[in-house]
Amino acid sequence: MKVLILCTGNSCRSQMAHGFLQSFDPSITVCSAGTEASGKLNKKAVQVMSEIGIDISQHTSDPVGKYLNDEWDYVITVCGGANESCPAFIGKVKKRLHIGFDDPSHAVGTDEFIMSEFYRVRDEIKARFHEFYLQNIK
């Protein structure tokens, strides 16, 4: 089973989804990429995942072009805001899905509020990807 998770920057939401899906079943090949890959991970995303025992610190922020020639069972987009464009994937895919989430890296306010957004989105990603895993893969 091969799953590609797409977002715009590939620094936060797609990385968390990648970490969760891989933690549910290490036998799945999971990759993540972005249409405008930032080249680095969001430090707060790495932190909130580490706090629940999932280390994504060694993930890389990759451009979607790296995966266009591969075959995928699922390609899942995770960008959620109406003002954000989700990437289109033109590679070889059996099923395309969209499971959207707010971008916590756009949160504005106190440090406490910003971190609360990272925790909220992390927990939403965990719940939705666990549901996806149980319904489509397990």
Residue 57's domain is classified under what CATH number? 3.40.50.2300
Query: SS3 of 16, please?
Result: helix
Structure-token pair, residue 103: 């971008």
Report the alpha-carbon angle 14-52-128, nearest 5: 45
Dist CA 105 CA 99 (whole Å): 18
Q: What pLDDT is attached to residue 38? A: 86
Query: SS3 of 11, please?
Result: coil
What average pLDDT does the segment 41-49 reach?
A: 97
Identify the residue with better confidence: 110 or 37.
110
Instruction: Find the domain containing 101 and state its range.
Output: 2-136
Tokens 């995942």 appear where? Answer: 49
The mean predicted confidence, pLDDT, of the chain is: 91
Q: What pLDDT is attached to residue 87? A: 57
* Strand boundaries in the chain, DSSP class E: 2-7, 29-34, 71-79, 92-101
Q: Around Cβ 114, how many Cβ atoms within 10 Å?
A: 15
Dist CA 40 CA 62 (whole Å): 9
Q: What pLDDT is attached to residue 131? A: 97
What average pLDDT does the segment 39-61 reach?
A: 97
Predicted confidence (pLDDT) per residue in 56-112, tens digit: 999 999 998 899 889 999 999 998 653 455 556 677 889 989 999 999 999 999 999
What average pLDDT does the segment 107-133 reach?
A: 97
* Percent of the residues in the chain that have a pLDDT greater than 70, as a whole number: 93
Q: What pLDDT is attached to residue 85? A: 55
Total structural domains in the chain? 1
Residues belonging to the active site: 7, 79, 86
**What is the radius of gyration, based on Cα positions, of the chain?**
14
The residue type found at 4 is L
Count of CA atoms in the C-beta half-sphere (13 A) of 44: 19
pTM, full prediction: 0.92
